[in-house]
């Protein structure tokens, strides 16, 4: 993999994700604010469904004494993550399927100060997500935190939801016409890259095109987290379409 411009792949991933979530960086900022507020500036972090390591990158830039374990199943995104952080002793990556009940056995630590995830768990339906939350309650230390930033839809407000979606998609259509890469475009580029082509092919064998999971409300996430053993949980940030739910053990 020598010679691959991993920083360029990280940048293009960020731009593609920001097409869907223009306030993505604000979500990360609030997430790290809450890490600092509740567990301090030297946390041991589990970057759950880490992708290219977007959370880990921002974590270490803000908190140089933090450490991170990134876990994901996507071989292409893990290749970018591993290439980007090669040689950084603060970072470990683990390939694991979060639907596998034994996935936590692959982790290098039995407990974490913070488990963080963003734009990932909508791949899971409610039942496996509840089971995962129960496992996370066992991984987060007493006083530690879990945070999930994702699309969380409140089904009690259909008119607001429809208006928000129409407005968001109109903006996305304008930006797409101006040349912004969407999800499919980005993966098409990865499939043509000499280093990423093979792991990209494996990735689509594992996942298919995209998620078929659920996008329950922030209230559902908070209630479920409390039900599996977290002491407190609520949304600490939201946009018209997304939310960041924080749970404290």
pLDDT at position 198 is: 97
The tens digit of pLDDT for each residue in 223-237 reads 999 999 999 999 999
pLDDT at position 2 is: 56
pLDDT at position 1 is: 46
Q: What is the mean pLDDT of residues 25-29?
A: 98
The tens digit of pLDDT for each residue in 69-128 reads 999 999 999 999 999 999 999 999 999 999 999 999 999 999 999 999 999 999 999 999
Model confidence band, residue 158 (pLDDT cutoffs 50, 70, 90): very high
Q: Nearest-5° angle of CA 129, CA 131, CA 135? A: 110
Model confidence band, residue 212 (pLDDT cutoffs 50, 70, 90): confident
Where are the domains positioned within the chain?
Answer: 6-248
Backbone φ/ψ region at 166: left (φ over 0), alpha (ψ -120 to 50), beta: alpha
Paired strand residues for 188: none
The model's pTM is 0.96
The tens digit of pLDDT for each residue in 33-76 reads 999 999 999 999 999 999 999 999 999 999 999 999 999 999 99
The CA dihedral of 221, 19, 92, 39, to the nearest 10 degrees, is: -50
Paired strand residues for 150: 243
Q: Under DSSP, is residue 49 helix (H, G, I), strand (E, B) or coil?
A: coil
Model confidence band, residue 208 (pLDDT cutoffs 50, 70, 90): confident
| Side-by-side strand order, sheet with 67-72 | 91-95, 67-72, 44-48, 112-118, 140-151, 242-248, 232-238
Least confident range of 57-66, 142-151, 164-173, 207-216: 207-216
pLDDT at position 32 is: 98
| 232-238/140-151 β-pairing | unpaired
38's enclosing H/E stretch is: helix 24-39
pLDDT at position 214 is: 84
Counted residue by residue, the chain has a size of 249
d(CA 130, CA 99): 11
**Domain spanning 6-248, CATH class:** alpha beta
pLDDT at position 211 is: 65
pLDDT at position 77 is: 98
Q: Under DSSP, is residue 112 helix (H, G, I), strand (E, B) or coil?
A: strand
pLDDT at position 85 is: 98
């Amino acid at each position: 993999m020598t010679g691959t411009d991993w920083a360029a792949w990280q940048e293009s991933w960020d731009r593609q994700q920001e097409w869907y979530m223009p306030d993505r960086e604000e979500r990360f900022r609030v997430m790290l604010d809450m890490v600092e507020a509740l567990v301090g500036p030297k946390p041991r972090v589990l970057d759950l469904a880490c992708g290219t390591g977007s959370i880990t990158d921002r974590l270490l830039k803000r908190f140089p004494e933090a450490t991170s374990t990134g876990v994901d199943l996507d071989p292409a995104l893990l290749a970018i993550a591993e290439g980007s952080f090669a040689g950084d002793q603060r970072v470990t990556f683990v390939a694991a399927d979060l639907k596998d009940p034994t996935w936590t056995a692959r982790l290098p630590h039995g407990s974490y100060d913070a488990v963080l995830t963003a734009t990932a768990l909508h791949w899971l339906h409610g039942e496996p997500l509840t089971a995962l939350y129960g496992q996370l309650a066992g991984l987060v230390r007493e006083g530690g935190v879990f945070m999930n930033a994702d699309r969380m839809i409140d089904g009690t407000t259909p008119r607001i939801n429809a208006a928000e979606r129409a407005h968001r998609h109109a903006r996305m259509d304008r930006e797409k016409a101006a040349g912004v890469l969407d999800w499919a475009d980005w993966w098409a580029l990865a499939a043509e890259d000499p280093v990423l082509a093979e792991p990209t092919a494996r990735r689509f064998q594992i996942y298919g095109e995209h998620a078929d999971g659920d996008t329950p409300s922030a209230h559902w996430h908070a209630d479920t987290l409390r039900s599996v053993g977290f002491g407190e949980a609520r949304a600490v940030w939201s946009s018209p379409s997304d939310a960041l739910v924080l749970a404290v053990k």
